[in-house]
């Protein structure tokens, strides 16, 4: 009976392979399919997000170094939702403004506060860039093992079926093994893009955060010079 | 994120859908229905082993010569064939009839020779001289057109003479002798002119002595003639031929063959080989006579090879040839001599006679390494 059932699956299509598989193997395959979908969703999302972020960085740097007044720039940017360098700039300017509105006493304290605010913003920005890249890494490393698990389970069950069928004919053995190997194939299918994309995207994240850090350092240097220029006369007057 | 998730799901659904419907499994390997080829391991002996059969007959499972005609069973016959006697030689096609006629014709032509032979007894000189003459005469005469007729006459005379001329001779001495001589005389008359040789005179003396011979003979007129004729008949080539054994020398055997003719050789060859026990028996016979000088230096490396030819009774035919290799020259000489002596001493070997073909040539390898 088992033999007849196995021999009947001579038409080895993806769908028949999936339907012939056992419960555990089906579960594994569905999970791997979901992982693949999720991987590609992240890849698409991140690729587009990084492209957008890179464009905004370029735009902001252009605007920032165009000689425009920082006050004006702050006024326009603080009214809208900002990301990347713009948010770092806005955070620093906000801290600067607050400090001067209440009358800063020491330049050192002001400098430290501004840098803290910029660091926090930078950390937040890079965190949003890196979001979900961890799941890519997880899928890339674990999907092959999950697929292998499905294969092992599938081969086990197919061997049990062969033992029951009392026949070692390759036509009887082949469908079960093919079906089991489908799980490994799906695991690899999910893992390979995930690993490649993870490496690529982490590299992109590093580049973007590096640019933002560089901007933060430059801007903090500019603000520090401004602080010195504004506080020095007051200190001299006193 | 939601957009990208939707995009990813859509792409997956697209690829899976395409895979499910258009990627309907790999093409099944076209193994085809291949019939298993039966492979037999054919020993070479089947090629060397030829069964007796008919060379021109089609191949059959078992070789067999042409079926013989039924005949009284000859249990002792050894060779297959239709012959009335059992001969070892293979059957050959019958001699051509032409050859037989040709053989008979010269016999008749020789008849005149025996006739004169009795005549020469009394006077050998003239007769002998006369005999060669008629024979050469016809040869030169044909060259000349005129005497050819004359030459043609003597020939029939010469042939007829033995039968007719001898008998009439006693009855009528001179007249008959003259009568036949007339043409002969005519011949010489013509002959001298063309030929310078003194042929005419010689034929003339012939008739003269002949009458003289008959003269004493007439006393035993008919008997002597009959006796002479009887002697002539005894020498008659026809009778000699009749006396000869008419059995064809190459006639085939007499053993019966019932099977359909099938492809095969003339004799059964190579079908037999000495069995291991027979080889062991031969080895034991030789080893019995083989003694080795114990303690010989480096004798263990020597290998002696004796090849000998055996006759059917098991005795050695000719001188066995000995060759030795390995070891020192002294050891080679000593051991090869011992091997030769051993082979010669045990000479009549007991071997199955029916397999003589396989042991007619024997090569014995002596390995003394185990003997020290």
Residue B7 Cα, gap to closest chain A Cα (Å): 7
Put simply, the answer to whether A41 touches B20 (Cβ < 8 Å) is no
For residue B9, the chain A residue with the least C-alpha distance is A37
- Residue B219 shares a structural domain with residue B113: yes
Indicate which of A12, A13, A136 best probes the interface with B, i.e. most B CBs within 10 Å of its own CB.
Answer: A13
pLDDT per residue over A129-161, tens digit each? 888 899 999 999 999 999 999 999 988 888 888
**Is there a domain that residue B203 lies in?**
yes
Put simply, the answer to whether A12 touches B26 (Cβ < 8 Å) is yes
Q: Does A33 touch chain B (CB under 8 A)?
A: yes
Put simply, the answer to whether B12 touches A13 (Cβ < 8 Å) is no
For residue A19, the chain B residue with the least C-alpha distance is B20
Judged against a pLDDT cut of 90, whether residue B290 lies above it is answered with no
Point out the residue among B4, B20, B28 whose CB comes nearest to the CB of A41.
B4
Residue A186 Cα, gap to closest chain B Cα (Å): 11
- The residue-averaged pLDDT of A197-210 equals 93
Nearest to A91 by CA among A113, A109, A76, A61: A113
- Residues in chain B closer than 8 A to A45 (CB atoms): 1, 3-5
Judged against a pLDDT cut of 70, whether residue A103 lies above it is answered with no
Q: ipTM beyond 0.90?
A: no
Specify the higher pLDDT residue, B46 or B166: B46
Q: Does A40 touch chain B (CB under 8 A)?
A: yes
Q: Could you write out the DSSP letters of every residue in B22-39?
A: H---PPPP----PPPPP-
Q: What are phi and psi of B5, to 5 degrees?
A: -65, -45
Q: How confident is the model at residue B347 (pLDDT cuts 50, 70, 90)?
A: confident
- Residue B282 shares a structural domain with residue B212: no
- Residue B291 shares a structural domain with residue B165: no
Enumerate residues 6+ apart whose C-beta is below 8 A from B21: none
Judged against a pLDDT cut of 90, whether residue B201 lies above it is answered with no
- Residue B110 shares a structural domain with residue B165: yes
- The residue-averaged pLDDT of B101-119 equals 48
Q: What are phi and psi of B83, to 5 degrees?
A: -70, 160
Residue A211 Cα, gap to closest chain B Cα (Å): 24
For residue A34, the chain B residue with the least C-alpha distance is B9
Put simply, the answer to whether B25 touches A44 (Cβ < 8 Å) is no
Q: How far apart are CA A25 and CA A149, in angstroms?
A: 8
Judged against a pLDDT cut of 80, whether residue B97 lies above it is answered with no
Judged against a pLDDT cut of 70, whether residue B175 lies above it is answered with no
Q: How confident is the model at residue B231 (pLDDT cuts 50, 70, 90)?
A: low
Instruction: Tell me how long chain A is.
Output: 238
- Residue B123 shares a structural domain with residue B192: yes
Q: How far apart are CA A136 and CA A193, in angstroms?
A: 9
Q: What's the pLDDT at A48?
A: 92
Specify the higher pLDDT residue, B44 or B138: B44
Judged against a pLDDT cut of 90, whether residue A166 lies above it is answered with no
Point out the residue among B4, B23, B26 whose CB comes nearest to the CB of A45.
B4
What percentage of chain B has pLDDT greater than the value 70? 46
Specify the higher pLDDT residue, B202 or A72: A72
Q: How confident is the model at residue A16 (pLDDT cuts 50, 70, 90)?
A: confident
Point out the residue among A37, A48, A132 whose CB comes nearest to the CB of B12.
A37
Q: Which value, in Å, is the radius of gyration of the alpha carbons in chain B?
A: 45
Chains A–B, number of C-beta pairs less than 8 Å apart: 49
Q: Does B29 touch chain A (CB under 8 A)?
A: no
- Residues in chain A closer than 8 A to B16 (CB atoms): 14, 33
Put simply, the answer to whether A41 touches B26 (Cβ < 8 Å) is no
**Is there a domain that residue B48 lies in?**
no
Q: Does B22 touch chain A (CB under 8 A)?
A: no
Q: Domain residues of chain A, as ranges?
A: 2-237
* CA dist list (Å): B111 to B165, B202, B231: 13, 21, 12
Q: Does A201 touch chain B (CB under 8 A)?
A: no
* CA dist list (Å): A120 to A113, A114, B53, B181: 11, 10, 111, 170
Point out the residue among A15, A36, A41 whose CB comes nearest to the CB of B5.
A41
The CATH code of the domain that includes B285 is 3.30.1150.10
Q: How many domains does chain B have?
A: 2
- Residue B199 shares a structural domain with residue B293: no
Q: What CA dihedral angle connects B352, B355, B358 and B359, to 10 degrees?
A: 30
* CA dist list (Å): B68 to B52, B80, B84, B266, B278: 14, 8, 11, 15, 36
**SS3 of B269, please?**
strand
Asked if A147 and A187 count as a contact pair (C-beta separation under 8 A), the reply is yes
- Residues in chain A closer than 8 A to B3 (CB atoms): 45
Q: Which of B198, B225, B243 is the last residue of a domain?
A: B243
Lowest mean pLDDT among A42-51, A154-163, B237-246, B290-299: B237-246
Q: What's the pLDDT at B166?
A: 46
- Residues in chain B closer than 8 A to A33 (CB atoms): 12, 16
Q: What residues 43-62 of chain A have any CB closer than 8 A to a CB of chain B?
A: 43-45, 48
Q: Does A8 touch chain B (CB under 8 A)?
A: no
**Is there a domain that residue B52 lies in?**
no
Q: Does A25 touch chain B (CB under 8 A)?
A: no
- Residue B168 shares a structural domain with residue B286: no
- The residue-averaged pLDDT of B320-346 equals 84
- Residue B212 shares a structural domain with residue B289: no
Question: Longest C-alpha distance within chain B, in Å?
Answer: 163
| Highest mean pLDDT, choosing among A151-155, B60-64, B333-337, B340-344 | A151-155
- Residue B237 shares a structural domain with residue B283: no
**Is there a domain that residue B146 lies in?**
yes
Judged against a pLDDT cut of 80, whether residue A193 lies above it is answered with yes
Distance of CA B329 to the CA centre of its chain: 48
| Highest mean pLDDT, choosing among A121-125, B45-49, B316-320, B362-366 | A121-125
Average pLDDT value for chain A = 83
Judged against a pLDDT cut of 60, whether residue B371 lies above it is answered with yes
Q: Does A19 touch chain B (CB under 8 A)?
A: no
Q: Which domain holds residue B190?
A: 102-243
* CA dist list (Å): B163 to A40, B236, B304, B332, B341: 136, 13, 78, 82, 74
Average pLDDT value for chain B = 65
Q: Which of B226, B243, B260 is the last residue of a domain?
A: B243
For residue A9, the chain B residue with the least C-alpha distance is B25
Q: What's the pLDDT at A68?
A: 82
Burial level of A85, CB count in 10 A (0-12/13-18/19+)? buried
Q: How far apart are CA B253 and CA B82, in angstroms?
A: 6
Asked if B291 and B342 count as a contact pair (C-beta separation under 8 A), the reply is yes
- Residues in chain A closer than 8 A to B5 (CB atoms): 37-38, 41, 45
- Residues in chain A closer than 8 A to B24 (CB atoms): 11, 13
Indicate which of A18, A44, A135, A171 best probes the interface with B, i.e. most B CBs within 10 Å of its own CB.
Answer: A44
Judged against a pLDDT cut of 60, whether residue A194 lies above it is answered with yes
Put simply, the answer to whether A37 touches B5 (Cβ < 8 Å) is yes
- The residue-averaged pLDDT of B23-36 equals 69
Specify the higher pLDDT residue, B366 or A211: A211
What percentage of chain A has pLDDT greater than the value 90? 34
Lowest mean pLDDT among A143-152, B53-62, B209-218: B209-218
**Is there a domain that residue B174 lies in?**
yes
Round to the nearest angstrom and report the end-to-end CA distance of chain B. 98
Q: How far apart are CA A82 and CA A89, in angstroms?
A: 9
- Residue B233 shares a structural domain with residue B113: yes
Burial level of A9, CB count in 10 A (0-12/13-18/19+)? buried
Q: How far apart are CA A71 and CA B164, in angstroms?
A: 175
């Amino acid at each position: 009976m088992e033999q007849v059932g196995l021999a009947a699956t001579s038409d080895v299509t993806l769908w028949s392979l999936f339907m012939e598989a056992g419960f555990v193997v089906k579960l594994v395959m569905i999970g791997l399919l979901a992982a693949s979908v999720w991987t590609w969703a992240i890849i698409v999302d991140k690729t587009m997000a990084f492209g957008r972020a890179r464009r905004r960085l370029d735009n902001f740097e252009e605007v920032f170094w165009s000689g425009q007044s920082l006050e004006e720039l702050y006024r326009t940017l603080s009214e809208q939702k900002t990301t990347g360098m713009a948010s770092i700039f806005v955070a620093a300017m906000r801290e600067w403004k607050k400090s001067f509105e209440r009358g800063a006493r020491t330049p050192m304290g002001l400098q430290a506060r501004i840098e803290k605010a910029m660091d926090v913003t930078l950390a937040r920005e890079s965190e949003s860039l890196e979001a979900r890249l961890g799941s890519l890494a997880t899928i890339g490393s674990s999907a092959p093992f999950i697929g292998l698990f499905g294969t092992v389970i599938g081969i086990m069950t197919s061997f049990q079926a062969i033992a029951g069928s009392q026949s070692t004919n390759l036509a009887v053995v082949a469908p079960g093994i093919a079906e089991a190997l489908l799980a490994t194939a799906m695991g690899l299918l999910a893992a390979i893009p995930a690993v490649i994309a993870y490496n690529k995207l982490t590299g992109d994240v590093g580049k973007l955060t590096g640019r933002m850090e560089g901007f933060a350092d430059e801007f903090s240097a500019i603000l520090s010079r401004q602080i010195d220029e504004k506080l020095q006369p007051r200190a001299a007057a006193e | 994120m939601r957009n990208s998730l939707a995009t990813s799901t859509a792409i997956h659904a697209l690829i899976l859908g395409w895979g499910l419907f258009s990627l309907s499994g790999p093409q099944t390997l076209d193994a085809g229905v291949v019939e298993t080829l039966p492979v037999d391991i054919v020993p070479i002996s089947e090629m060397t082993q030829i069964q007796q059969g008919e060379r021109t007959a089609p191949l059959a499972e078992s070789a067999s010569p042409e079926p013989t005609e039924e005949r009284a069973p000859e249990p002792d016959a050894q060779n297959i064939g239709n012959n009335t006697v059992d001969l070892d030689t293979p059957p050959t096609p019958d001699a051509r009839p032409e050859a037989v006629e040709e053989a008979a014709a010269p016999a008749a032509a020789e008849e005149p020779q025996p006739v004169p032979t009795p005549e020469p007894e009394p006077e050998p000189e003239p007769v002998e001289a006369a005999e060669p003459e008629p024979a050469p005469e016809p040869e030169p005469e044909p060259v000349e057109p005129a005497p050819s007729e004359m030459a043609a006459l003597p020939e029939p005379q010469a042939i007829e003479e033995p039968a007719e001329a001898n008998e009439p001779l006693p009855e009528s001495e001179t007249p008959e002798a003259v009568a036949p001589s007339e043409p002969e005389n005519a011949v010489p008359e013509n002959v001298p002119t063309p030929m310078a040789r003194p042929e005419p005179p010689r034929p003339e003396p012939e008739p003269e002595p002949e009458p003289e011979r008959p003269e004493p003979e007439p006393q035993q007129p008919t008997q002597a003639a009959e006796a002479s004729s009887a002697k002539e008949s005894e020498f008659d080539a026809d009778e000699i031929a009749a006396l000869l054994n008419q059995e064809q020398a190459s006639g085939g055997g007499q053993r019966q063959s019932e099977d359909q003719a099938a492809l095969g050789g003339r004799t059964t060859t190579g079908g037999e080989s000495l069995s291991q026990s027979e080889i062991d028996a031969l080895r034991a016979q030789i080893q019995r006579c083989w003694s080795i000088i114990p303690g010989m230096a480096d004798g263990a490396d020597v290998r002696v090879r004796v090849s000998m030819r055996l006759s059917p009774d098991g005795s050695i035919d000719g001188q066995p040839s000995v060759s030795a290799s390995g070891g020192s020259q002294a050891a080679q000489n000593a051991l090869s001599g011992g091997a030769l002596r051993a082979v010669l001493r045990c000479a009549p070997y007991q071997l199955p006679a029916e397999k003589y073909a396989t042991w007619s040539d024997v090569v014995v390898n002596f390995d003394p390494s185990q003997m020290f």
